[in-house]
Structure 1
Amino acid sequence: MAAKRKLPPSPLQTGLNHAALSLLAFGGIVGVIALSIQLMGKEDHASPKQIVGLFSEEPRQAVGLKERLSDSDAHHPSDDEHGPTLAEMDEPSLGISDPGTADPHETDDSHGDDPHEDDTPSEYAQAPSAAGLPRAPIEGLYEAGAYGKMPIIAADGRTPFDVYKRPFSNPAGRPTISIVIGGLGLNSRVTQAAIDELPPGVTLSFVPYSKNLQTWIDKARAAGHEVMIEFPMEPYDYPNNDTGPYTLLTTANASENRRRAEWLLSQATGYYGVTNYQGAKYATDARAVSPVFEMLKERGLVFMHDGSAPRSVFETVAKSEALPFAEASRVVDADPSGAAIDEQLLYLEAIALQRGYALGTGFAFPITVDQIRDWSSTLDSKGYVLAPASALPRAQPELGSSGVRSQG
């Protein structure tokens, strides 16, 4: 009887066995390494990381050009009962009552007739510095309006533009560059930094919805900065892109837009002119723009286009209304990064060499304040002069007995 003999495994079976053993061994090694990392590794070294010191806190969504920054935990210049609360500032209305409801100025008697009766911060209870501008309002340049003090042309022909702008001279005729930083008043930390760190020749533009707006304007003028006020204007995606209840609209009639403009102008005193906040759609409608520009001219103010609306009729309407006008050549922080801002500032230098002057605008991003501060310190050595925006040739009105006329 033949003995039974066990046949050797097939080559296929041998290969599969070896593969299984290899996988088990590899899995064991990986497991040991993972356990070692878990027990002994440092979490901070687990992945590459980049920290950008642009904001002290993360925005809730992507930050766009001139997006309004709310004060989530910042210290306000005076934490009184007036103005929007922090919770209200998170609402689309920006904490401002609807135009169809009673205005807060009509029901709040604590303000009285003097806009300086707010709880002014104790650190500001001092005389302006030598570089400071006179405190507003100046007698003869305002009247009582439905919502507060309104700018007017004085009986002797002086305009708010004449009196509230920063004095400037350039006897050597060097190329001038002007910068306007907008969006101020809503974020107290950035607003204070702009006032304190930027040279007085930088013009500051404030949001009319800001809490304690007059206090901020007083502080800016005491530091030597001339100031403007911003008019929120209808963007193409309004009301999804909410610019507040006093937004100037293409769908509103002339009377309503003038009423809204009157509310905006009455929120503070001491500004020499107005600039736009957004308004890409509004800027294309001459019918809507004309009555507002007529009102600005009647009150001795100027208008500056921040350069963000490419198909604007602002200049054409300003000429027809004889309203002094200026337009920015560059928005320096459309890309809010240090390298991009520096590049735009170089463009402004080139424009100033060609034309003799240049105007740029930016928003109150911390990075913008830092870059403008550092860049402005180099201008003198380069042969440029930092000029307030009011010094631009086309923003200079001729004075006559009837008020302001443009140079054409």
Structure 2
Amino acid sequence: MAAMRGFFGGFGLGAVVVVVGSGALSLLMPLPQRPEVGQAPTASAGAPEETTGRAGIETKGNDADLVEAMPKAPVAGGAADELKPLDTAPAAKPSVGAATEGLAGPITTAAAPEVSIGADNPDLPKAPGAGPEAPGTDKGVSIASEPAQPAAPALPETDSGLARLETETHSETPADQVEPAEEAAAAPATEEAAAPRIAALPQAGTDAAPGSSPLGTPVKPLTDREAAPVAAEGPTPLALYSAPFDNAEGRPLMSIILIDDAQSIGAEALADFPYPLTFAIDPTEADAATKMQTYRDAGFEVVLLADLPVAATPQDAEVSLSVWRSEVPEAVAILEGPGSGIQGNRPLSDQVTEIARSAGLGLITESSGLNTVQKLAAREGVPSAVVFRDFDGAGQTPTVMRRFLDQAAFRASQEGTVIMLGRVRPDTVSALLLWGLQDRAQRVALAPVSAVLTHKPEAAPQD
């Protein structure tokens, strides 16, 4: 506490010393000098007095350094002289000569200069010429209202169409309207004997000649034709080469077709298969006839596999099927191949349908849209059907194949028949054997394809 008191006491003493020293220093400093103010200059004798303006503000007068003196006019000899009084009399009008003489009288208008129009002034417009004259009547030209007709061609005396038409025309024309020129021209034509003979032409409204066919007869479309009878005599291939089948229990029919191609296993492995199958033979392969005979000896049915180009014509189909049928003569039907098939164009499919009808074969097509080809074939009386599903064409596993077969069995229970398409592969054969042991397979009757093609659905019972 004593230290604090000493600190504050020293601080206060220092402050007092500073204030006292500052006051003494200010007293010792000299005061600044005031500016001296002089008296205002007095006006000279010749300068005008300054006037005091508004609110005590003095206005300046004339500058005292400038000397103002009255102006004087120069005189001869260099002496200054007083100015003379100004002469205010008006000066005389200037004389302009004869130019103003014409202004004294009345103003007259001069005549316009005459303009001469001729060849000397090519730039001036020329006067328009006389307009075209109105056409008059040329009495020297005569117009014949009834010109002479050319001579009629010579006609034979036989009863031709042209002669009969000429006779009827003259008979209808009154005699008083026939011109003399026409009579003169017709006279030598009838007397000429060496005229060429003209064939008789058919006349409108008359019947055609006997034995001739009328032109323009429309062809009846395929959809409107009635089912024509099969041209083949005796049993058809469908009936002749079909495998025996009995459906005593009346179960829905399910047919399985297997394509025998280059990757197929041997037909001998399927000789003891427990239920009927149908095999499709490619007629373009070299051993097509041998394969057909092997399956036929084992008791199976065969069908002819047909793949035609999309741009094929009906003539192409007729030639190709004629050759293919000779390679697979015991086929019961034509099967549309999974490639280009036969539904590429309407004329092609119509031709294949006609070949199947005339040969007594069945027709099996792939499912496509509304299946118009199959419906038209059925209307033509061709035994036909549609493949429900290709169950191994995309490399499906045996499990997937069995599921597809289950779906086909359910479809058969709804529609009465169904056709499935596969290939002769080890996985496919294994899937078929395992599926045949299941309960679902017992609900349908596994049948050859001929039974499906000739199946007739039972009529619904009437109340």
TM-score (norm 1): 0.50
Give the aligned partner of residue 357 of structure 1: 417
Give the aligned partner of residue 377 of structure 2: 318
Is 1:229 matched up with 2:304?
A: yes
**CA 1:192 to 1:313, structure 2 compared with 1: closer, same or farther past 3 Å?**
farther
Q: Following superposition of structure 1 onto structure 2, how do residues 122-141 of structure 1 map, counting pairs within 5 Å? A: none
Number of residue pairs aligned between Structure 1 and Structure 2: 226
**CA 1:266 to 1:278, structure 2 compared with 1: closer, same or farther past 3 Å?**
same
Give the aligned partner of residue 343 of structure 1: 403
CA distance in 2, matches of 1:385, 1:316: 25
Q: Could you tell me how far 1:168 is from its partner in structure 2?
A: 1.4
CA distance in 1, matches of 2:450, 2:273: 17
CA distance in 1, matches of 2:450, 2:298: 17
Residue 213 of structure 1, aligned match among 285, 288, 294: 288
Cα deviation, 1:17-54, whole Å, max 9, x if unaligned, reads xxxxxxxxxxxxxxxxxxxxxxxxxxxxxxxxxxxxxx
After TM superposition, the runs of 4+ consecutive aligned structure 1 residues lying more than 4 A away are: 279-282, 309-312
Q: Which has the larger radius of gyration?
A: 2
Is 1:162 matched up with 2:162?
A: no
Identity value in percent? 23
CA distance in 1, matches of 2:344, 2:376: 10
Q: Following superposition of structure 1 onto structure 2, how do residues 385-400 of structure 1 map, counting pairs within 5 Å? A: 385-392=445-452, 394-396=453-455
Q: Following superposition of structure 1 onto structure 2, how do residues 7-26 of structure 1 map, counting pairs within 5 Å? A: none
Give the aligned partner of residue 405 of structure 1: none
- The SS at the match of 2:239 is helix
Range that drifts further, 273-282 or 285-294: 273-282
- The SS at the match of 2:430 is helix
**CA 1:178 to 1:298, structure 2 compared with 1: closer, same or farther past 3 Å?**
same
Is 1:373 matched up with 2:450?
A: no
Give the aligned partner of residue 104 of structure 1: none
**CA 1:255 to 1:280, structure 2 compared with 1: closer, same or farther past 3 Å?**
closer
Q: Following superposition of structure 1 onto structure 2, how do residues 86-165 of structure 1 map, counting pairs within 5 Å? A: 155=233, 157-165=234-242
Greater relative contact order (CA < 8 Å, ≥ 6 in sequence): 1
CA distance in 1, matches of 2:397, 2:279: 20
Give the aligned partner of residue 31 of structure 1: none
Give the aligned partner of residue 305 of structure 1: 365
Is 1:181 matched up with 2:258?
A: yes
CA distance in 2, matches of 1:305, 1:379: 29
Equivalent residues of 1:159, 1:301 under 8 A apart: yes
Cα deviation, 1:303-325, whole Å, max 9, x if unaligned, reads 11244x45643213313432210
CA distance in 2, matches of 1:354, 1:181: 24
Q: Could you tell me how far 1:282 is from its partner in structure 2?
A: 4.2
CA distance in 1, matches of 2:257, 2:445: 15
Give the aligned partner of residue 249 of structure 1: 309
- The SS at the match of 1:262 is helix
Give the aligned partner of residue 54 of structure 1: none
TM-score (norm 2): 0.45
Q: Could you tell me how far 1:373 is from its partner in structure 2?
A: 2.4
CA distance in 1, matches of 2:339, 2:441: 38
Is 1:171 matched up with 2:248?
A: yes
Q: Could you tell me how far 1:203 is from its partner in structure 2?
A: 0.9
**Gap regions ≥5 residues in structure 1:** 1-151, 233-247, 398-408
Equivalent residues of 1:286, 1:317 under 8 A apart: no
Alpha-carbon RMSD: 2.6
Give the aligned partner of residue 36 of structure 1: none
Cα deviation, 1:162-203, whole Å, max 9, x if unaligned, reads 010112121211222211111x1534635443x335345111
Residue 287 of structure 1, aligned match among 324, 347, 357: 347
State the AA in 2 paired with 1:210: E
State the AA in 1 paired with 2:353: F
